[in-house]
Amino acid sequence: MKLDSKIPSGPLGQKWDKHKFDLKLISPANKRKFEVIVVGSGLAGGSAAATLAELGYSVKSFCYQDSPRRAHSIAAQGGINAAKNYQNDGDSVQRLFYDTIKGGDFRAREANVHRLAQVSVSIIDQCVAQGVPFAREYGGLLDNRSFGGAQVSRTFYARGQTGQQLMLGAYQALSRQIGLGTVKMYPRTEMLDLVVVDGHAKGIVVRDMVTGEISSHAADAVVLATGGYGPVFYLSTNAVGCNVTGTFRAFKKGAAFANPCYTQIHPTCIPVSGDHQSKLTLMSESLRNDGRVWVPKRKEDCAKSPGSIAEADRDYILERKYPSFGNLAPRDISSRAAKEVCDEGRGVGPGGLGVYLDFNDAIHRLGAAKIRERYGNLFDMYERITGENAYQQPMRIYPAVHYTMGGLWVDYNLMSNLPGLFVLGEANFSDHGANRLGASALMQGLADGYFILPYTIGHYFASSKQTRPKADDAEFRKVEEEVAARTKRLLSIKGKKTPRAFHRELGKLMWENCGMARSKASLELNLKRIPELREEFWNSVNVAGEAGDLNQTLEHAGRVADFLEFGELLCLDALTREESAGGHFRVEHQEEGECKRDDENFAHVAAWEFQGEGKAPLRHTEPLVYEEVHMSTRSYK
């Protein structure tokens, strides 16, 4: 396999403009003749489908929810970055670029990140024109806040629902095209496989989630924007339906999977309350502006009520370890600090898996009214979930899986190594390196969909000169049969354990052995245990219901089956990356608890190639060459 990143030549700042000029065009009259399948209707997929249709392409859009508006992008709270420098505080494309590269622990591609920073500016203009109600100042201009430890205020936001508002903007643009008949929408339709003809991605096989019908769709190109794979850990801040199926099926059809081990663990989530738990809820990072993170100094105090623990007996962990950043230390670092104290047995709450986030000082300093004004909705949400009043007692928080930086490998054109297969948003690996900064995923998803793919896809059409197969060609029939056989097999096992039970077990393995801290031993344990669990799954899973029907157990079972394979790949990637970087923390590679990168040997993208069932995948590398930035050590002490 050849990984050609196709990064244009020339100075960093001019690459994208030059490249845009070099890209071949399709004449307006001819665009109509090209059909594009877009799987996923989130920020990335929704914006891409709408824009491609506006340009004149014939688009089919797929999502598993009952409406495209419900893609999990809707859940993003904090905001979206853009180098507008509206605040006149020294921001620029160059600075956003640098912060993002550094935040990613120097494991992202320079050219991609620079382009991202460049187009960030247009995203805001686009969204404002669509009617996204970003927060404004009294003078009527757009407001910004600083987010995720950035030293400039470049984050645009819409209350605590930025993702929702951007999502609705994209959804409305998409709806307009659906109304005009240029996009055909397929909600409640799950992509179960990719179809490759003569080495080019040419279509997908889907299951109608209401009737159970399995059918094929052929096109001139396939765009995957299926989001992240967080639920491989079972519990995460993702939606319960988020899955790896789209990208993993493509992987099995020859697309390279890059850096699967890079996963982001968010420090401020509501802790698990019991085995019944189905998902974890994020409490906005902004809480750390006023909340202080602590645990008791002594194990014996952990069961006591927090108010009865004297000041001297409290350990304000982040303030102690990172005096200059204190409670605002970056996500990966704060998460690990919490895990460390819980591992020492000093955690609080059920199972000892939690630390306090205390607002007592802030309430004394600013008054409860001020705190209510700033965080009222979050305190309400906390109370709904835990039944506890955070004005009176400290919140309990614990880290949870939140975002996956890994994804299908793509070149500068967002095309995978399989020609005709484009991958956008969280589903690709491209821009965040080993760690994503707050407010940059929304930016990336929209950059990909509104401003990058619409240019690059035309070039593929103009230069590849492919023909479009029919959806009843032999290859499609064959894949349909495979998919149907798999469904049938899942239903026929009739064993003793539900898919959820397997998912929970896999999640436990992943979280404990491949979560916030990973070691050779823990990863090797997983590489042994996951195949065993998978074997057990295929022997004794119980999938109730029928194939020709709305069957949520079956849907879940299919996703868990893919997670059971993908989890192994993730652990393998983590094992072979013998360094610590961003969200990937190998205990063997640290310096006083901090990540220790190995730039000599690991300044590269690891992209895995499927070799066939039962065979170990092959690890390829794409070297990361930094022309503009100097790789430094991230320090937040």
Partner 1 sequence: MEKGMNLTLIVWRQKDAKSAGSFATYAARNVSPDMSFLEMLDVVNEGLALRGEEPIAFDSDCREGICGTCSCVINGVAHGGQKATTACQLHMRKFRDGDTLTIEPWRAKAFPVVKDLVVDRSSFDRIIQAGGFVSVRTGGTPDGNAIPVSKEDSDLAMDAAQCIGCGACVAACKNASAMLFVSAKVSHLGLLPQGKVEQDWRVLNMVKQMDAEGFGACTVTGSCEAVCPKEITLDNIARMNRDYGVATAKGK
Ligand X SMILES: Cc1cc2nc3c(=O)[nH]c(=O)nc-3n(C[C@H](O)[C@H](O)[C@H](O)COP(=O)(O)OP(=O)(O)OC[C@H]3O[C@@H](n4cnc5c(N)ncnc54)[C@H](O)[C@@H]3O)c2cc1C
The residues of the shown chain that bind ligand X, judged by CB under 6 A, are: 39-45, 62-65, 71-73, 75-80, 162-163, 190-191, 225-228, 237-238, 243, 245-246, 282, 403, 425-427, 438-442, 445
Query: Residue 622 forms beta bridges with which residues?
Result: 605
In the list 278, 463, 611, 621, the residue contacting partner 1 (rule: CB under 8 A) is: 278
| Residue 300 binds partner 1, judged by CB under 8 A | no
| Residue 279 binds partner 1, judged by CB under 8 A | yes
Q: Of 95, 207, 249, 331, which is the active-site residue?
A: 331
Contact of residue 43 among ligand X, partner 1, none (CB under 5-8 Å per partner type): ligand X
CB 202 within 8 A of CB 117: no
| Residue 103 binds partner 1, judged by CB under 8 A | no
Q: Which is nearer to partner 1, 136 or 365 (CB)?
A: 136
To the nearest whole angstrom, how small is the minimum distance from the Cβ of residue 558 to partner 1?
15
In the list 5, 47, 263, 268, the residue contacting partner 1 (rule: CB under 8 A) is: 47
Q: Angle at which helices 552-576 and 520-540 pack, to 10 degrees?
A: 160
How far apart, in whole angstroms, are the C-alpha atoms of residue 380 and residue 425? Answer: 31
Q: Which is nearer to ligand X, 39 or 338 (CB)?
A: 39
| Residue 503 binds partner 1, judged by CB under 8 A | no
* Residue 595: strand, helix, or coil: strand
Pattern of binders to partner 1 over 549-588, x per CB under 8 A? Answer: xxxxx-----------------------------------
Contact of residue 40 among ligand X, partner 1, none (CB under 5-8 Å per partner type): ligand X
Pattern of binders to partner 1 over 369-408, x per CB under 8 A? Answer: -----------xx--xxxx---------------------
Residue ranges in 243-306 assigned as alpha helix (H): 245-252
Q: How far is CA 363 from CA 293, 358, 388, in A?
A: 15, 10, 17
Query: Residue 265 forms beta bridges with which residues?
Result: 401
Q: Which is nearer to ligand X, 294 or 409 (CB)?
A: 409
How far apart, in whole angstroms, are the C-alpha atoms of residue 27 and residue 599? Answer: 45
Q: How would you write 89-124 as a 3-class SS string?
A: CCCCHHHHHHHHHHHCCCCCCHHHHHHHHHHHHHHH
Contact of residue 45 among ligand X, partner 1, none (CB under 5-8 Å per partner type): ligand X
| Residue 244 binds partner 1, judged by CB under 8 A | no
| Residue 368 binds partner 1, judged by CB under 8 A | no
Contact of residue 225 among partner 1, ligand X, none (CB under 5-8 Å per partner type): ligand X
To the nearest whole angstrom, how small is the minimum distance from the Cβ of residue 228 to ligand X?
6
Query: Residue 165 forms beta bridges with which residues?
Result: none
Strand order in the sheet with 221-224: 183-186, 58-62, 35-39, 221-224, 421-423
Is 331 catalytic? The answer is yes
CB proximity list for 327: less than 8 A, separation 6 or greater: 288, 289, 291, 292, 293, 318, 319, 334
Q: Which is nearer to ligand X, 224 or 295 (CB)?
A: 224
Contact of residue 439 among partner 1, ligand X, none (CB under 5-8 Å per partner type): ligand X
How far apart, in whole angstroms, are the C-alpha atoms of residue 36 and residue 55? Answer: 12
Q: Which is nearer to ligand X, 80 or 342 (CB)?
A: 80
Pairing relationship of beta strands 58-62 and 35-39 according to DSSP bridges: parallel
- Amino acid, res. 474: A
First to last CA, the chain: 42
Which residues ranging from 129 to 168 are in contact with partner 1 (CB under 8 A)? 129-131, 133-142, 158-159, 161, 164-165, 168
Residues recognised as catalytic: 331
